[in-house]
Amino acid sequence: MKKKAIIILLSSTTLGTGSLAAQEYITVSTQNISLALKVSDTKKLEQVYFGNRLKNDEELKAASLPAASAYSTFGGTHTFEAALRAVQSDGNTSTELRYAAHRTEKRDGNIVRTVISLKDAYYALSVDLCYQAYQKENIIEQWVEVTNNQAKGVTLHNFASSDLSFSAADYYVTQFHGNWAEEMNMSQQHLDEGIKIIDSKLGVRSNQFTHPCFLLSLGNPATEDYGEVVGATLAWPGSFQFCFEVDPQKRLRVLSGINPYASSYTLEKGEVFKTPALLYTYSGNGVGEVSRRFHRWGRQYGIKNGSGERSILLNNWEATYFDFDEAKLVQIIDDAAKMGFELFLLDDGWFGSKYPRNSDNAGLGDWHTNTQKLPHGLPFLIEEAHKRGLKFGIWVEPEMVNPQSELYEKHPDWIITQPHREQSLQRNQLLLDLSNPKVQEFVFGVVDKILTENPGIDYVKWDCNRYVTNSGSQYLKPDRQSHLWIDNANGILGVMGKVSAKYPNVCFMACSGGGGRMDYGSMKHFDEFWISDNNDPLQRIFTQWGGQHFFPAIGMASHVSASPNHISGRSTPLKYRFDIAMAAKLGMDMQPVQMTEEEKAFSRNAISVYKQIRPTILYGDLYRLLSPYTHNRTSYMYVSEDKSEAVLFNFLVRKNINGDREAVLLKGLDADKKYRITEINRESDKWSRVSEYEGKTFSGDYLMTVGLRFGMYSEYESVVVRLSVP
């Protein structure tokens, strides 16, 4: 008798384990999206659907749907890029995976995990496709675990974390790119037949040129509120690759994961190769929904203490660079307390004895206090900060070393470099080899010793100012040199995890010469990230606009700097600089001693106001209104969860001789609530652009339908509006 097929739904009500003797479909579902997989008659696992969740998933089997391999392999009849390419222990270059089993489990009230086990038809090689479906956030997390049970080694040449297929009339991919001081720029391209690769080959601070995230629009270019779009980001700080391949039938396959470039990896018997996770979602309602899902997921799961408090910090770097002493730092600490800051951060230059860290060419790696600069050590500064009501933070760069250092003299074998080749320096420094367990122990020990000996440290800025060149390891065996790219990244993740586990109450910032380590693989160990070394507000508009597509404001540190800006040389009003910094997690590098009394008064007021609106910005939902790429003015807003407050940011990007009077239609409000309009950060001697709205109340319906209409005319002009329910 023919057995009736049923669909296994991965939800809180349908959990179990099965051999699929009488089952054809496995569906990974959240509240609003579904990924449907089918086991074919020949036991191959195929993807048949990815999109909005159906009211009745049973209907997926009612008619034949186009199918594509759920995890393609090299060999056989497959003629396109493969998710997995392995050389078996006897030299066979092909792999043929067949469905073996699956299991699902409810991790908690919100997470459902499924593992689908595949095995080679002949060889003792198994592949587990692992999924975690976050129900409320509508995010799917996917990774792969490859196990070798053959007597001899198996070499992996390609090892994608996911293999997703699509069928649409057209495809458009948005990528995020840039360089130091101009990170997270956005560009959209049409995908024609053939292959497009977005990748990094940098190994460390691998986000410097491209970022491990993309938006894929199906059919037509997506907008903020309309269109089909898939958003994805890879949780990995090392080299990555996204491969988009459109075949002659206009079908698209997307392979995502570690970059296989120069990274073949040999598994001995019993070893498991685990790929990093790809996080992705589907939206039928445009890009804005994708961002809000990632923000909610990031605050809950992706960022350390993602729902905790964040402090407004003052950093000494742009005021002093390496030139400081105790008296100068105590003055900055005192000024910070009087201005309303909550944390003082001591940046680079506080360490080194034999080779004092008085510039960037010496001392890196020698993590003991420079007593010539700080005769009373860090405890004295910590006490000075704490007695003024400030938290204390410190800068470290534990993965790096200067050739002019005691560490390098003692351990030149710990450096990533190729033998018989000239050393390659960036910022006068070299990389420590984190594939080496002894180096991992040292790097952990650096941070651990600083925090143990100085228990009053509340905040750590963890920097990383170069990427991999001369990629050789003196620890790895000659036939395992290609493991470096992967083992080094896993090594630093292991150290980060060990540090964050031991010091859960210390706030950690991930800094990498700017946004070079802005990924959810690293971010689960860090409370916030430094998105760019460039605090120029005009550049920051674009950098933060790009970054906010996947990362929430609670993690996005943004600082007010001096004018002219130290990187761009551009002069901008203090209000413009404050407004863009307040649109994320506020901090400052500009020093009070460099300010006029008028600037100090404005800054104190802005800091005070930020403390009032901080919960809405850091924990609220983001709605982008006008893009800086397509409008002279850019606008976006944060709305509190209960919709009782919103903060609207407006920045003039391009001055027009006739001004800009474009209507700003608000989003995310409660249509039935009344909101009072108040301009904040208004300069006392300037006429308010929103004077006709000031102090009045309007319904959410009016604000979202008619909107606010006010002109913006002046170069570097900004307007910030607070909307609150009376």
Give residue-wise pLDDT tens across range 277-288: 999 999 999 999
All CATH 2.60.40.1180 domain ranges of the chain, comma separated, are 624-724
* 514 dihedral zone (left: phi>0; alpha: psi -120 to 50; beta): left
Parallel, antiparallel, or unpaired: how do β-strands 585-588 and 313-315 relate? Answer: parallel
From 137, 236, 183, 299, select the one nearest 547 (Cα to Cα).
183
Phi and psi at 599, nearest 5°, equal -65, -40
Confidence of residue 683 (pLDDT cuts 50, 70, 90): confident
Report the range of poorest mean pLDDT among 31-35, 477-481, 603-607, 658-662. Answer: 658-662
Q: Decide if 192 is catalytic.
A: no
Give the type of residue at 576.
Y
Neighbouring residues of 167: CB distance < 8 A, sequence distance ≥ 6: 66, 250, 251, 252
**Token pair 């910070």: residue:** 336
All CATH 2.70.98.60 domain ranges of the chain, comma separated, are 6-94+105-302
Residue 18 has pLDDT above 80, yes or no: no
Average pLDDT over residues 248-258: 97
Q: How far apart are the first and last CA of the chain?
A: 69
Whole-number average pLDDT of the chain: 95
Neighbouring residues of 22: CB distance < 8 A, sequence distance ≥ 6: 3, 4, 5, 6
Residue 368 has pLDDT above 90, yes or no: yes
pLDDT of residue 688: 86
Residue 595 has pLDDT above 50, yes or no: yes
Q: Please say whether the beta carbons of 391 and 459 come within 8 A.
A: yes
Q: How far apart are CA 468 and CA 471, in angstroms?
A: 6
Average pLDDT over residues 565-577: 96
Helices (H), 477-596: 484-502, 520-523, 537-547, 574-582
Contacts 24+ apart (CB under 8 A), 623-627: 623/224, 623/288, 623/666, 623/667, 623/668, 624/224, 624/287, 624/288, 624/291, 624/545, 624/548, 625/224, 625/664, 625/665, 625/666, 625/667, 626/662, 626/664, 627/545
Provide the strand spans (E) within 319-421: 343-346, 391-396, 400-401
**CA distances for 259 relative to 107, 160, 210, 597, angstroms:** 30, 8, 13, 53
Which tokens go with 601?
């008064």
pLDDT of residue 23: 52
pLDDT of residue 514: 84
pLDDT of residue 649: 98
Q: What is the model's pTM?
A: 0.96
What percentage of the chain reaches a pLDDT higher than 90? 91
CB neighbours (10 Å) of residue 141?
Answer: 22
Average pLDDT over residues 678-693: 89
Q: Decide if 163 is catalytic.
A: no
pLDDT of residue 14: 31
Residue 488 has pLDDT above 90, yes or no: yes
pLDDT of residue 657: 86
pLDDT of residue 605: 97
Helices (H), 354-483: 377-386, 406-410, 437-453
pLDDT in tens, 200-223: 999 999 999 999 999 999 999 999
pLDDT of residue 57: 80
Q: Please say whether the beta carbons of 41 and 65 come within 8 A.
A: no
Confidence of residue 313 (pLDDT cuts 50, 70, 90): very high
CB neighbours (10 Å) of residue 294?
Answer: 27
Average pLDDT over residues 123-131: 98
Neighbouring residues of 113: CB distance < 8 A, sequence distance ≥ 6: 104, 105, 107, 130, 131, 132, 133
pLDDT in tens, 500-541: 999 999 999 999 988 899 999 999 999 999 999 999 999 999
Which tokens go with 568?
């761009």
Q: How far apart are CA 722 and CA 164, in angstroms?
A: 42
Residue 8 has pLDDT above 90, yes or no: no
User: What single-letter DSSP state applies at residue 53?
Assistant: P
**Among residues 348, 463, 487, 527, which one is catalytic?**
463
User: What single-letter DSSP state applies at residue 351?
Assistant: B
180: three-class secondary structure by DSSP: coil
| 516 or 170, which is more confident | 170
Which tokens go with 608?
């005070």
DSSP letters of 679-709? EES--TTS--TTTTTTT-EEEHHHHHHT-B-
Neighbouring residues of 612: CB distance < 8 A, sequence distance ≥ 6: none
Q: How far apart are CA 530 and CA 555, in angstroms?
A: 8
pLDDT of residue 684: 76
pLDDT of residue 321: 95
Q: How far apart are CA 473 and CA 374, in angstroms?
A: 36
Q: Please say whether the beta carbons of 318 and 269 come within 8 A.
A: no
**CA distances for 146 relative to 115, 132, 153, 269, 381, angstroms:** 12, 17, 13, 12, 50
Nearest-10 crossing angle of helices 437-453, 484-502: 20
**Among residues 57, 533, 589, 660, which one is catalytic?**
533
Residue 17 has pLDDT above 90, yes or no: no
- CATH entry, 6-94+105-302, from 3.90.1150.180, 2.40.50.100, 3.40.50.1000, 2.70.98.60: 2.70.98.60
Residue 585 has pLDDT above 90, yes or no: yes
Confidence of residue 64 (pLDDT cuts 50, 70, 90): confident
The fold for domain 624-724 equals Immunoglobulin-like (2.60.40)
Q: How far apart are CA 54 and CA 5, in angstroms?
A: 18
Residue 103 has pLDDT above 80, yes or no: yes
pLDDT of residue 50: 97
pLDDT of residue 656: 87
Phi and psi at 647, nearest 5°, equal -130, 120
Confidence of residue 175 (pLDDT cuts 50, 70, 90): very high
Residue 410 has pLDDT above 60, yes or no: yes
Neighbouring residues of 480: CB distance < 8 A, sequence distance ≥ 6: 266
pLDDT of residue 512: 92
